[in-house]
Amino acid sequence: QLQLMESGPGLVKPSETLSLTCTVTDGSISSSSYFWGWIRQPPGKGLQWIGSLYYSGSTYYNPSLKSRVSISVDTSNNHLSLKLSSVTAADTAVYYCVGYFDWSSFDNWGQGTLVAVSS
Amino acid sequence: QSALTQPASVSGSPGQSITISCTGTSSDVGSFNLVSWYQQHPGKAPKVIIYEVTKRPSGVSNRFSGSKSGNTASLTISGLQGEDEADYYCCSYAGENTVVFGGGTKLTVL
């Protein structure tokens, strides 16, 4: 069973860039026909898809975040990365890393990591 | 791309059945049979319980079932149990490699 674990700073200052890493174990991030992505959940609120990356390298982003988001992979370390620029308090959330075969469902989730945006 | 609409809360007694609706548009729920449902207990990551509108992943109780009519998808939980108390989210493919979630529904087992 694929294991995903998010890591990164728990506190980011407003206007700075949020950077998170997802480490994939018991599987290869280079696996063919597989998607990797990020989903977030503000405290007490619902889920929001941030974006995804296909194993081929193609990326897809939520239109509402597209101008500030970048998702990439580091195949040598089996890592997925998320960068979200110009953050505000509205970006405070638990950020989940996900892995899935197709758009039918998000099969594998990390445990999530809370990132607060505050000065 | 707007969030799918779910009731904020539903409740039921043990043994009863409840249904949670998820209303989208002709651009998402109405166009694709790619609706999934997630169960989330407090402090935990979501878990998929229904995919492709009606299918259950291995290990998910057959008390959970899904359906769709037009732009509205539904999740039904029969034989309510205390462990079903959780938040439930629907999600639909919205075309061009994007998805949209519902706002979530809190299920209370009375």
A36-86 per-position pLDDT tens digit: 999 999 999 999 999 999 988 899 999 999 999 999 999 888 999 999 999
In the A/B pair of chains, how many CB contacts fall below 8 A? 59
Please, which pLDDT band fits residue A1 given cuts at 50, 70 and 90? confident
Which residues on chain B are in Cβ contact (under 8 Å) with A62?
Answer: 1, 98
What's the pLDDT at B33?
A: 97
Chosen for mutation from B35, B36, B68 (greatest number of chain A CBs closer than 10 Å) is B36
Please, which pLDDT band fits residue A16 given cuts at 50, 70 and 90? very high
Q: How far is CA A71 from CA A12, A81, B73, B109, in A?
A: 18, 6, 30, 39
Please, which pLDDT band fits residue A30 given cuts at 50, 70 and 90? confident
Has residue A32 got a pLDDT over 90? no
Distance of CA A54 to the CA centre of its chain: 13
Distance of CA B1 to the CA centre of its chain: 19
Has residue A2 got a pLDDT over 90? no
- Say if the Cβ atoms of B46 and A64 lie within 8 Å: no
Has residue A117 got a pLDDT over 90? yes
Has residue A31 got a pLDDT over 80? no
- Say if the Cβ atoms of B103 and A46 lie within 8 Å: yes
d(CA B96, CA A47) in angstroms, rounded, equals 19
Q: Name the maximum alpha-carbon separation found in chain A.
A: 41
AA letter at B65: S
**DSSP 3-state of A90:** helix
- Where does residue B13 fall: left (phi above 0), alpha (psi -120 to 50 degrees), or beta otherwise? beta
What's the pLDDT at A18?
A: 98
Chain mean pLDDT for chain A:
95
Question: In B24-94, at which residue ranges do the beta strands (DSSP E only) sit?
Answer: 35-40, 47-50, 64-69, 72-77, 86-93
Radius of gyration of chain A (CA): 13
Which residues on chain A are in Cβ contact (under 8 Å) with B45?
Answer: 96, 109-112
CB environment B7-39: b (16+ within 10 A), e (fewer): eeebebeeeeebebbbbbbeebbbebebbbbbb
AA letter at B42: P
- Say if the Cβ atoms of A47 and B1 lie within 8 Å: no
Residue of B nearest to A43 (CA): B43
Classify burial at B106, counting beta carbons within 10 Å of its beta carbon; exposed 0-12, middle 13-18, buried 19 or more.
Answer: middle
Q: How many CA atoms lie within 13 A of A37 on its CB side?
A: 27
Residue of A nearest to B58 (CA): A107
What's the pLDDT at A33?
A: 78
Interface membership of A55 toward B (CB under 8 Å): no
Query: pLDDT tens digits for chain B (110 residues)?
Result: 789 999 999 999 999 999 999 999 999 999 999 999 999 999 999 999 999 999 999 999 999 999 999 999 999 999 999 999 999 999 999 999 999 999 999 999 99
Residues in chain A: 119
